[in-house]
Structure formats: C-alpha cells, structure tokens
Structure 1
Amino acid sequence: MSEIGFIKAKPVWPRGKDKEMNVTVGFRAVFDWDAAQNALLCMTGSSLYRVYVNGEFAGHGPARGPHGFYRMDEWELSPYLKAGKNMVAIEVVGYNVNSYYLPNQPAFLQAEIRVDGTVLRATSEDSDDFQAALLSERIQKVQRYSFQRPFIEYYRWRESSHAWRTDDTIALAVETCAEAEHKAVIARGISYSTFQKRSPVAKQERERFTIGNVPEVYWKDRSLTDIGPTLGGYAEGELEVVPTLEMQEVRTIKTSLTSSPYKAEEALRLSALSCQIIDWGLNRTGFLGGKFTCRERTKLYLIFDELVTDGDIDFTRMDCANVIGCELEVGSYDLESFEPYTMRYVKLLVMDGHCEVEALYLREYNNPDTERAVFQCDRAELNAVYAAGAETFRQNASDLLMDCPSRERAGWLCDSFFTARVEHVLTGGSKMERSFLENYLLPERFDPLPAGMLPMCYPADHDDGNFIPNWALWFILELQEYLARTGDLQLVQALKPKVYALFDYFRPFLNEDNLLENLEQWVFIEWSKANDYVQDVNYPSNMLYAAALDAAGSIYDDFRLAEQASIIRHTIAEQSYNGSFFIDNAVRIDGKLQLTNHTTEVCQYYAFYFGIATPDSHPELWTIIMDQFGPSRDARQVYPAVPEANAFIGNYLRLDLLSLYGRSRQLLEQMEGYFIHMAERTGTLWEHAGNLASCNHGFASHVVYWLYQDALGLKGIDPIAKKLIVQFEDNGLHWCEGAIPAGAELIKLQWRLEGDRIYYSLHTPSDYEVRIVNNSGKELIAAIP
C-alpha cells in the first residue's frame, strides 16, 4: 500500500519524553476561520489522542495500524468552528509499553489544519503553530489496566485544569518539541464513529460503605505482579496509587436494591463513604463522562462492569482494573474518560468529601456503518438475539475487528473469521476486514515470533514470544472468504509470501504420517477440556491444517497443497476414529504413536466442519451430535465421557454445521438456548457459555449472519457475481423481514406464512440475478396481499 502524506506537518514530541511511559501532552493551535471555508484537521500519532475544538469533543484516534505504519485521520472541523478566532486542542498519551491493544512505539503527534487545502497550522520543531505542554493531572505512575491493555486512569483535577483547551490566554508551560524520524503514514480506510452520547436508564438507591477492611489476601492480577522484561509498566513499589488494592478494602453496607429511572437533570448527591450504582440498561462501550460539582475536596472512584455480581460491582471479575480514580479540588467539572471502556453498570464511590453528579453519559465508540441493516421476525427471543448480536458487532468494530471492547480491545485471528462475515452482512462491505488483513501484510516480520509465524492478535506486541499456531491457520481460511466477498485479488496476492512462509514454518513439525506433531507455544482448540489434549498429535489441529492447505491451494491455484490436504484428511480419518467418536490426540510412547481415549464434543464438530466426516460417511455419529448434544445437553448424563464444548469455537461450529446442512428449525431453537440469557442480561453476547469472562465478544455477533441466512432466507449472496439465492425453509417462523446493504442499495426480503402458502416480497439491486429455492413444503406466492 502506498503512503499518503502530510503537506507540512512533522512528527513531534516533547524532547526526551518520546519513550517515557504514560506521558500525557496537550497540543493547541489558534487560527482564524471564515465560515465559507472548508476546514480539516489531518493527524496521526502514537499512542492515542482526542481532539477538542473550541471546547467541544471532536474525535478520538488514530485508527490502529501495524508497527512502523500510522493511519491518518481527517476530522471535519467546520461543524465546531465560528467566524473569527478558533482553537484546536489535542490531548495525546504516549503509553510506551507493550500490549495486545496498541503497538509499543515512541510517542509523537503529527497534525496540520488545512483550510480550503491550505495549511494554516502544522506541527514541527521549528514552528510554534502548535504549542505543547505536559499535562500532569493524569497521574503517570499507575498500574496497568490489564495484561492486555496499558495504564488505568487516575486524575488530580483543579477547576482550571481544562481551561487551556478553550482559553488561549491561559499560559501553558510550553515544552520544546523535537522532531521524530519520518513516519510511514497510510490511509485510515474505515469510517469514523459518530460518538453518540448515551444516558443511563436507572439508578439504585444510595448506599453506604466502610473502608479499611483488610482482606486476608489481596487480589493481584499479573498486570500488577509480572511487570518486567516482557511486560512493560511501573512495578508495584513505584506506583503512586494502587486503586485495585484500595478498593478491596471497601465493604458496602446494603440498604436497598430498589431502582428508579435515571434523570440527567437530577443531581446524585454523594457524601463521604456513600455510593450509588447506575445502569445503562445494556452493555455499552465508550467514554464515561458527566458533570461533577465538589463543594469540598473530594476523592471519587468510578468502578464498573458488565454485570452485577451478588448485588454489587466486581471490578476485578475480568482480571482487569475496571476503576477510574479522581481527586478533585473545590469546583465544577465536565469530565470524560480518555480511554473507552465497556460497562452496563457503574458505581460511584465518594471516599472523602462531597460530590454532586449530573448528566452522566457514555460517549459511544462504535461502528457507524450498520444502521441500514434490519431484521425482525415473529419470535421475540430471536429478535432479542439479533439486537444483541448487532450491538456486539458495533462495539467490537470501532477501528479494528476486535475480540472484546473491554479487557483487551485486540484484533485476534479466528475471531476475525467469524466477525468479518458479520461485517459484510451488516454494512454491505469489508472495509474493516481489509484494514485488519492489511495490518498483517505491511510489516516485513513479526519479532520476536519465529520466521513465518503470524501473530495470534495484531497490531500487538508479543514480547514473551507467545503465539497460537492454530490461529495463523484460520488466517488462511479467512483470506479465502475475503476474496470471495470482495474480489480483492491484489491484497490476497500480496499476502501470498506470508501464507507460504507460514507453511514453511509448519513443515518441520510434520511426522512420518504427514501430520503435525508437538506444535509449539499455545496450541488452542477452544476454552474446554479439549485444550488438555493438544499434544503430541492433536487431530483437531490437523483437521484445521488440512482445511488451510485446501484454502491456500484454491486461492493460489496450487494443486500440491490440495493434494497434501487430501492425504492428511485420509490419515486423520483412519487414525482418530474409534468406531464411535473421533479421538482428540495421540501421544508418542517409546517412539511409537499411541491413541488416547480422549473424545471431546468439539473434536466431533471439527471433524464434520473440516470435511473429515460427513453425515453420509458417519451417520450414527452425526445423529448423536445433532440430536443429543447442544444447549440442553446434560453432559453428566448424556455421554459423560465426551466433555462438552464451550462457546468459542465449539458451539459456533455446531451452529454453523446446522446452517450448512439445512437444519434451520433446529438452529433457531438452539440459538435461543445458547444466547437468550445473554441478550436479556447484557444486551450483548459473551466469550464463554457462562459469564466468567467478557460478556461482549466480537465473534459472538455471528448470530446475525445465521439469522439472515436461516431465518430470513438470504442464503447465498455473491456480491462479485451479483447473484443471490433466496432459500425458504420450514424453520418454525410464521413471518420474517429484513434488509442488508448491497453497496449503495439494499437487498430486502419479507415473507409471511399463511396455511400452506408463503407470501413474499423481494427487492434487490437491478443487476442481481436471483435464484429461489423452496425447501419449505409450502406454495410460494411472490406477492404479499
């Protein structure tokens, strides 16, 4: 991909601070503007920034790119400007630690203000167009938020702290900036969030709490205890504050769990040692803000989570520090978190002082391209699952296809295979996926991983050398589907060297049977008992390997890869099937490979999903997994020797098999079984079958894909050939309607069952060829009376 350029701006940062951890810098520029002119702020930087124009929030970024490449944002300034003098203020945080969320790269800002194409202000070390100052209100030496994300937010505010953003007469302690080395700047490539503000829907009664309740053992996450050569941060002994330890000494005195509607104009009055839980109604992701008035010095904590646990907020539930700390002098403040967080509930605790809180909000940070997609049917539970799936996608695709918008905000392979399908049906395109794949294309290598291996999540730092070899194989499967969705042969061909380098990496692990044996690092099947059986020869890994060989053979017209895949499938079928189930693994004893007796539910799904077995080749096993497994299975009673699958990826492979083999009625029923409790509790879909981790995970949005295919009937969409298959099934619904984007137009279908007839109406772009398949057993009428 070719670079794009700035006209005048250079990358700058306060001298000597570009590699210092958790430094916050404010940049501001003042300029005159004529209302007839077009004004644009072009910028990029590291690690993150937010923009204010004349005191109004105007943007957050940049969109993430790979190591050594920086995506340029272009913010329209005109909506925030007034005739005459205007001010742009940019807050930038340079984290300078490794994470799964943001690449560890020296801090800088590169920005210029263009009016009708002419640069009025630009960053450079030779110009004072942008003044820069260190912002000390955000405490620097704090703990990490999680193993996967950088630092928490803890502030010491004065009422005048934000005046520099609106009043150019406020003097800044201006820092001398040094110009950094040239940055490779590339296009953003994706849409911008609309940053809509959302208000809470309910509040609980105020409660009291006590402090100083020392626990027997403090909970300490690895992000606090494992700081060292492979995990950047400040060691515990260096920290100025440690909110996670302090909050474990808090004990809430329960008075009432009664809730009432939240009203933005009514102040929450919280005195010392009082607290209150606020409810957004469903999980939301964004920047937490509100108006805070303190009549005396106040210390305030905001803790949050996706769930209420035992009537309270467990801010450590996900092994991350869901806490923001503020020390406020007397005054009135409009505050907003710098980082996006995910929560349904937030609990405000006043440790000392007195605080009045009004107009709480969450400024959403999500994908704006899904608004044209709609779905509805006669079953309320499926409508709730759809809404939860669409909401889950929006929050996990703000600037990258992510696993979760909370603990990690990381772009994981395998997850992306499923989420990318959802992007295409909800947005009518694959902009986010292209950016995701491009991040893997651009770097020459991924240190410190071995040659040929792809990072399990990226852009990210893997200083400990960890990787998931299986996830790299899912990259190839996604690449095949991406090509079918987009026809983007240029990107796929550009990635060919990385695909073949990956196969070169795997070659030394092939044993005498041409199967992968003793794979290194984190061999991952799914979050279940199956991951106890990943050595020495793991058959699900080899099933996936064969599928990846086949996919690459198809993409690059390489019959040798397809032939190798066929041999591997045959070998797996011969070795791992014990007459009843497929066996997970074999171990080498005295030089000879010995089969184990481990047979997990997810291994069976791998076998059918990747073509080792079919309903015709293994009909008895197919009947068992289709009719006796699923969300209602009690694994203690039904085949107890076959450990059950978890959500990812076992249950998703199962549901996709139901879709692939036309079992739409069963699919819809089991979707309710797997997901309705999630939709009802958080309005988003979860990482696991239970609530022990993230309750908002990108791959889980795949339910949307199935609902369009198997409930509505848009079974096959080929956007390249402009072909559509509409397939009617006896799926148990009485009516359904929906629309998905197809470029600038929509594909719309609605149908209604009446007796022995299905009445339907279909609208497609004029250049689409449509084939109707009727498996419903009903007469089709191409009109709705």
Structure 2
Amino acid sequence: MTSAAFPGVAWSGHWIGPELPPEPEGQISFGGELTPHAFSRVHYRRSIEVDAVPETVPARLTADSRYVLHVNGVEVGRGPIRSQPRRLRYDQYDLAPFLRVGINTIAVLVTYYGRPNAFWQPAPAIGGLGTDALLVFEAALGDTVLTSDASWRVLRSPAWTTFAGESIDGVPVERLDARLLDPRWATTAFDDSEWAPATIVRTSHIGGFARSQPPTDPYGALLPRGIAALGGVTIEAPGLSDSSRRAKPTWSSTHPSKRVVEVLEAGGEAAPGILPVTAQLTPETVHHLSVDFGRIVAGYVELELTAPAGVEVELHYRELAYAPDAPMSAPNTGGAYITRGHDDRYTGLELNGLRYLHIVLHAPVAAEVTVAAARVHEYTYQWTGDAFFRSSDEELNALYTAGRRTVQLNSFDSFTDCPTREQRAWVGDGVVHQLVHLTTNSDWALARNYIALGDSPRPDHMLPMSVVGEIELHGAMTIPDWALHWVHGVYNLMMFEGVTDQLLAVLPTVEKVLRWYEPYVDEHGTISDVPEWNLVDWASVFSTGRSSILTALWARGLAEFGEISEVIGNAASARWARTRWDAARAGFEDFWDERRGTYIDHLLGGVPMAAASQAAGATAIVSGLAPRERWSRIIDAITDDRTLVVRSWIGGNDGGYDVQKMIEQSQGIQRIDWDAETEVVLTEPFYSYLVHDAVAAAGRAGDLTRLVRRWSVFLVDGYDTFGECWGWGTPVHGWSSTPTRDLVSYVLGIRPDAPGYSRVRIAPAPGGVAELEGRVPTPHGPVSAHLAGGVLTISSPVPVIVVDAAGDEHSLAAGEHRIHFG
C-alpha cells in the first residue's frame, strides 16, 4: 500500500531493536525455533536539529506489539491497531505541529507483550523478526528522510512488569516502578548518551536476503491503519466515596487488584472526601481511596500525587460496586505504581473500562502522601455526522442514547465484547456494533474493519470465535455459528455501502464458511450434530442433534450470500446457495409445532423435543424457511409475556457465570426447569437483534416500541449502558445494543432498500408513540424523517419507498416530501 508522502511499497526505515535476536540453529529454518522475548517495554530516541519547520512533516511508523509516539515530550499518538501479525498496520502522522526550530527529540515507547493476550498474538518467530519490541519509523522532513536506523538510541526499561492473567481476564495488569524511569526520557533535556545504539534487525531466513526494511516476513507489506484516531473527553474524579486509614493486611498476593480486595474484605467504615487528599502512612496501615465515576468510562487512568520515593500504589478497577464473594467472572483489572519521590504522575498504558476506582496506598516506612487528582482519559472511536433519533417518549430516547454509549465503550481499534473484562474481538458479537455504527455514525470505517479483522479463517475455512489474540493463535475449538453472524455483517455492508472491493475480497471466505457446514447437512437438508461450541445465545437454547436454529442461521447466510452473488453476477455460487436453501426449507418443516404456532429447537434421534425458544421461531422467519403466512402467528407465540421465561445454561444468581452450570454444560447436562411444553425461552440481549429483525419482517415493527423497553432494566443506579444478559454479566456489553438500531431502522423505519443505499425505505411503525424524528447517514448524504400529527416529512438524497400506515408502498424521487401518513 502506498501514499502520496511515501510512494512505492518498500520502506526507507529499518526494523530496529534493543539487541540482535538469537540466531536459529542451522542455515535453513522453517520457523518456530526462536522463543519470543518476555514482556518488556523499550525506549527509542532520536534527536535532530531543524533549521526551519516545514508546513507538513508526514511520518509513519509501526511496532511489535504497541507503541506510544512522543515528539519533544508531547504524546502524538498510539498504535498500531490490533491485527493479525501478517497484516500488521502502520499509522501516519503530521509531525509539523510538534516540531520547533533547533533540537527536537522523537521518542517512542514500544511494548512487547511476549505472551498472547485478548488483543495481541505473537508473529511466527522466524529469521530474526517477530520475537521482540521492534520499531520501524520514517518521516519526510523537507528534502531529508528521517528513518529508524542505528543512529537511534535504545534502552530496555526495567520500570514495567506485568502480572499473569487469570481465567477470562483479557487486559494486561501493569506495574510501574517510577524510580526506574526518568520522567524526562522523551524530552530534549534528557541525556541518552549512556543508552546503546539501536540494532538494525534483519531477516536471516533463506530467501530473506538479510532485508531490514519492510516488507519483510513475518509482517509482510505493512498496511495503513484504515480507521480514524481514537479519543475522547477527560473525566475528573467527582469526589471520593471513601478516604480512610485501614490496617495493612498480610498480603497473600502481589497482584494489585487482589491486594485492594484484601483491604476491602477486611472491612472498615467509609469516610467520603474530596481531592486533593493527604494520607499519613505507617508500616502497619494503608490508606484506601475510592472513586465512583457515576457510570462506566473507558480509557487511561491517571493519578497525580506527591510522595517520597518507594510508596506503593495499588489500583483496582471495578464495573460494579464492591461486594464480598464476587462472581468468578468479575474483572481482576488494575495497575500498580511505585513513587519516585518527584514528578509523580501515573498514566496507564493499558486501556481499561471501569466505574469504580479503588486506590490503596502503603509504604514500608512512615510517609505522607497527597493524591491531587484522579481521572480517566477516555479513548474510544469517535462519532461523526449529525445522526439522531428523538421521539415523544423519553424512555425510548434514553434507550437510543444508551445503545450508542454502550457501543462506543466497545469501539476501540475493533469492536469488543466489554471494556471492563475481556476486550476481545468476538466474530459474532460485532454484528450488533456494526449495525449501530451504520445507523448512527457517518464514519463507517470501524464497521468495515469488523469484517476485515474477522476474515481470518482456520485451515478448515471456519472463523475463529475471537480474532487477534490467544484464541485465534491457538486455533482451538470455535463457535461456528458466530461466523454466520459475521456473514450477516458482510451482507449489511453490501446493503449500506454497495459492491466494494472489500466486499468482493471477503466473498470467498463467506462461501467457504457456508460450505464448512456441508458435511453436517443430513438427508433432510437440515443441519445435524455439529461439533465444537454451538453457543447460539447465552439463553437456554438447544442446538444438539438436528438443529432448527443452526439450520435457519445457515439458511439466512445462504440466502444473503445468494443475493450478493446475484448482484455481482456470480450465477454459479448463487445457484449453489439457492439449491442448499431449497433443500433446507423442505426438511425444516419437521421442526414445526402446529399446536404452539412456532418452531421447536431440535430433534434427537428423529424425535421432536418439546423445547421451543424465541431464537428458533425468529430465525425461522429471518431465514425465510418459515412460510410467510405463519410469520405473525410465530411472533405471537414468541413474544407473549405470559409464556416467556428467562433461562441460561451459564448465568448464575450472583451476577456472573455459574461454575457448576459451566461444568454441567461441558458434560452435556442441560437441565430443563421450565415447562418446555408451554413456555418459550426468551433470548438474551445479543440474539434479540435477530428476534427484532423477525418482528419487523413479519410486519409487526410497531411491537418493538414495547419489546425494547425490557432494556430499561439496565438503566438504573447511574448506569447508562446495556448489560450482557438478563440479571448477570457485565453492565456494558456491546452485543446488547440492538434497541438503538431498532428505533432507527424499524420504528422510525429508515433503512436501505437496495444495495449501497441507492434507494431508501422509510416505513415508520410508531407503535402508539405520538412523534418520531431522526436522521441517518448514507453514502449519498443524510436521510431524515419526521412523523407527527399524521404527517410524514422526508428529506432524502436518493429515491424513496415509503410505506404508509396501511402498509401501502409509494415510490418517491429524491428530495423533500411531505405526505399524509394514514
């Protein structure tokens, strides 16, 4: 990939490192012989003299694993964004605003994680690259090209360490000993003469020709970032819910979060306060501070304090208020800082989500410590444009806003499940985030990136359940149906953006994912006995044996792939998809329960099982396998509050995962503690996006103004985001945000009616709400609609299909229209 500032494929900058990696044994290496370096952070510096600052100074860089770029002590940016190592991304900046006449210093802090985590996996270690904290940099400074090379100075810092993660924790927990870090290291005032010169790192594998400038294996041709910069507001601590002196426990762990919990478990009377606060420490006591930010925030935690050298600061980040006996799935995130005795300011290098910040101060000797400030610099993907939704119903307005906030707190360099616990890029979850972005944000780059990042199949063509990280690296079992939601995301891109190069590039993966299921197609044309983890939803749904839900999810994918294939003129693939879909429709009739008016979950040994879920009925509709004349009856059956029950194979009564249920699930034990003959299992918030698709498809979109109100249960006690599940899980889970999309696409009723939004469909379904208004982004400009007093006002840059209150369709030209709405 090339840019105007840096033409061509090859880079001028060299890969540089703190030292040469060990040589593989033998002249011919096929990889895997070199052990990655342990976690470390490495400082790189280069000072230059500038006679005159050009108008622009384009620069680009990347690193393995992460970098923070400073110019003259000012942070310029962070990166690279998460990617598979052979698709490593770079970032480009204009350094001119940060430069000055005279001596300037470019300084880069590079983190190498060593072990795979939730958002990074090591590159294949072969031929010198892929095992350490490496950097490549180049900048066009007038007629001079400044490059990373042996003239840079380097120091592997002893100041940072990390703690081993546990269970499903995804975010590294870091410890900074500030006594080992000069705060001036990134400035021109710092003397780096005692640092070593950087080492140019070259490939040493056969065919690599000792190359040190990208493209090189294992990173290949470096790719541009592809998404906008992250950012956000700075949120100051609103006060202290506790500032109290407590007895120092006998620590059982060095982990900061565990140490804080030990202090909390010992108990003590809370004493609210405000910052700044001064604490008197003794060897026998600690001082505990707690901050409630009032809602979930996500970014970098920062503290300002004054203390003698050697004071230890333990940090623990919580999504929920502390309570004894926290569930197994509660996050163990936090950090630790040891004061240097001057210029003490802690700013986390790892992004965290939290509502509650707990700080424990302690020291081996008596010490006075003043904490002047505590804050979070939010660091999320930003919204652009003027999309909005408003109605005369404040509850609906709050739900729309909550969904946007929930998705934004899970929009970083990719879509994530939650900012507080894992930050993993799950292939299935992201389809909901994508739909919220497409309907509320004019910048669709992250919606595209969801598809690009997920396009990383295993050798058998199935997608990993989570991409970039330890899960993809190890290539173990996956959630096959998650890939089918990703397929739906590809279809979404076609409908919203049209036929693009990216769409064409991923279609082979779409087809291979769908063909992966072919060995599991039984003699009835339906899907049976699929191995691995067929999650479907956290609700208690059945996918064993002959599965109606997996069959219908697959059929939805077939139908959508077939439609895309027809649009691009791929008749052969369209014919294959249609043939498979037809066969599935014929066999699908075996799942119909005439008495209940919906579809059951599965058959075992050819025998229909009684259990019926919302998921089964809804997926039958969106796949088109259910005859259209049944659709309204199915919606009646699966949305009747009198027969709906909330059940989960995994969820516990303590707000987290139930370990015993998880064990039983692994052993194939699924306990039915509801009346499976008459009751219907409610989907959890994630799969509700598909249920609501079905409601709208059945001509019942007006029902959504009632159905989405269930999400109001999350908006209590200051929380303004949607939780993971009904009654348990994290309080900020991106996959739960379908009400925002629903209110825009189905209640206000604005959505694409043809690929690329070349025609828009506006079908308001107010469901008794007196007034609706909103605006949505399209590639051609915004579309807006306002419904009040029986009059629908429209503004659209593309032709419109309007569906009135009677269900009649009207074709209108692009422009502004004011029509009577039944």
Report the TM-score, using the length of structure 1 for normalisation: 0.85
Give, in whole Å, the separation in 1 of the partners of 2:201 and 2:548.
53
Shift of the 209–540 alpha-carbon distance from structure 1 to 2, 3 Å rule, reads farther
Matched, 1:571 2:587: yes
Partner of 2:545: 536
The answer to whether the Cα contact below 8 Å between 1:285 and 1:366 also exists between their aligned partners in 2 is yes
Match for residue 373 of structure 1 among 387, 400, 418: 387
Partner of 1:331: 342
Give, in whole Å, the separation in 2 of the partners of 1:254 and 1:154.
25
> How far did residue 496 of structure 1 move?
3.4
Match for residue 46 of structure 2 among 18, 29, 33: 29
Partner of 1:349: 360
Match for residue 609 of structure 1 among 594, 603, 622: 622
Partner of 1:394: 408
SS at match of 1:206: strand
Shift of the 371–211 alpha-carbon distance from structure 1 to 2, 3 Å rule, reads farther
Match for residue 153 of structure 1 among 165, 174, 181: 174
Give CA deviations for 1:639-660 in whole Å, capped at 9, x if unaligned: 7863633424343333333333
The answer to whether the Cα contact below 8 Å between 1:384 and 1:680 also exists between their aligned partners in 2 is no
Partner of 2:438: 424
Match for residue 583 of structure 1 among 577, 595, 600: 600
Give, in whole Å, the separation in 1 of the partners of 2:338 and 2:186.
20
Give CA deviations for 1:604-640 in whole Å, capped at 9, x if unaligned: 3322332333562265543222233698989999878
> How far did residue 49 of structure 1 move?
1.4
> How far did residue 548 of structure 1 move?
1.7
Root-mean-square deviation (Å): 3.4
Can you give the 5+ residue segments of structure 1 that lack an aligned partner in the other structure?
219-239
SS at match of 1:470: helix
Match for residue 640 of structure 2 among 627, 630, 634: 627
SS at match of 2:439: helix
SS at match of 1:203: coil
> How far did residue 66 of structure 1 move?
2.3
Shift of the 354–255 alpha-carbon distance from structure 1 to 2, 3 Å rule, reads same
Matched, 1:102 2:132: no
Give, in whole Å, the separation in 1 of the partners of 2:142 and 2:595.
72
Give, in whole Å, the separation in 2 of the partners of 1:386 and 1:497.
35
The answer to whether the Cα contact below 8 Å between 1:515 and 1:537 also exists between their aligned partners in 2 is yes
> How far did residue 336 of structure 1 move?
0.7
Partner of 1:227: none
> How far did residue 259 of structure 1 move?
5.8
Give, in whole Å, the separation in 1 of the partners of 2:688 and 2:674.
19
Q: How many residues align?
A: 732
Matched, 1:55 2:85: no
Partner of 1:46: 64
Match for residue 17 of structure 2 among 13, 27, 30: 13
Matched, 1:524 2:545: no
Give CA deviations for 1:482-503 in whole Å, capped at 9, x if unaligned: 1222123433333333233334
Give CA deviations for 1:4-52 in whole Å, capped at 9, x if unaligned: 7464112222225682121111112222343443123311122111122
Give, in whole Å, the separation in 2 of the partners of 1:123 and 1:435.
29
Give, in whole Å, the separation in 2 of the partners of 1:79 and 1:159.
31
Give, in whole Å, the separation in 2 of the partners of 1:552 and 1:743.
22
Partner of 2:813: none
> How far did residue 355 of structure 1 move?
2.9
> How far did residue 561 of structure 1 move?
1.6
Match for residue 437 of structure 1 among 438, 451, 456: 451
SS at match of 1:329: coil
Match for residue 212 of structure 1 among 236, 249, 254: 249
Give, in whole Å, the separation in 2 of the partners of 1:424 and 1:431.
10
Give, in whole Å, the separation in 2 of the partners of 1:101 and 1:291.
29
SS at match of 2:374: strand
Shift of the 458–148 alpha-carbon distance from structure 1 to 2, 3 Å rule, reads farther
**How many percent identity over aligned positions?**
18
Matched, 1:731 2:767: yes
Matched, 1:112 2:137: yes
> How far did residue 751 of structure 1 move?
4.0
Match for residue 136 of structure 1 among 139, 158, 178: 158
Give, in whole Å, the separation in 2 of the partners of 1:743 and 1:601.
34
Give, in whole Å, the separation in 1 of the partners of 2:632 and 2:233.
52
Q: Where in structure 2 are the equivalents of 1:248-647 lying within 5 Å?
A: 248-251=261-264, 266-267=276-277, 269=279, 271=281, 272-295=285-308, 297-310=310-323, 318-352=329-363, 353-370=367-384, 372-441=386-455, 446=457, 449-460=458-469, 461-463=472-474, 465-530=476-541, 533-556=542-565, 557=571, 558-575=574-591, 577=593, 579-580=595-596, 581-588=598-605, 593-613=606-626, 616-617=629-630, 620-628=633-641, 642=679, 644-647=681-684
Shift of the 710–279 alpha-carbon distance from structure 1 to 2, 3 Å rule, reads same
Give, in whole Å, the separation in 1 of the partners of 2:306 and 2:11.
44
SS at match of 1:682: coil
The answer to whether the Cα contact below 8 Å between 1:539 and 1:576 also exists between their aligned partners in 2 is no
Give CA deviations for 1:217-238 in whole Å, capped at 9, x if unaligned: x9xxxxxxxxxxxxxxxxxxxx
Partner of 2:657: none
* Counterpart residue identity of residue 148, structure 2: T
Partner of 1:231: none
Give, in whole Å, the separation in 1 of the partners of 2:529 and 2:156.
51
Give, in whole Å, the separation in 2 of the partners of 1:649 and 1:728.
24
Q: Where in structure 2 are the equivalents of 1:114-263 lying within 5 Å?
A: 114-116=139-141, 118-124=143-149, 127-128=150-151, 130-139=152-161, 142-144=163-165, 147=168, 149=170, 151-158=172-179, 161-166=182-187, 167-174=189-196, 176-181=198-203, 182=216, 183=219, 184-212=221-249, 241-251=254-264
The answer to whether the Cα contact below 8 Å between 2:242 and 2:289 also exists between their aligned partners in 1 is yes
> How far did residue 136 of structure 1 move?
1.0
> How far did residue 287 of structure 1 move?
0.9
Give, in whole Å, the separation in 2 of the partners of 1:490 and 1:702.
28
* Counterpart residue identity of residue 66, structure 2: L
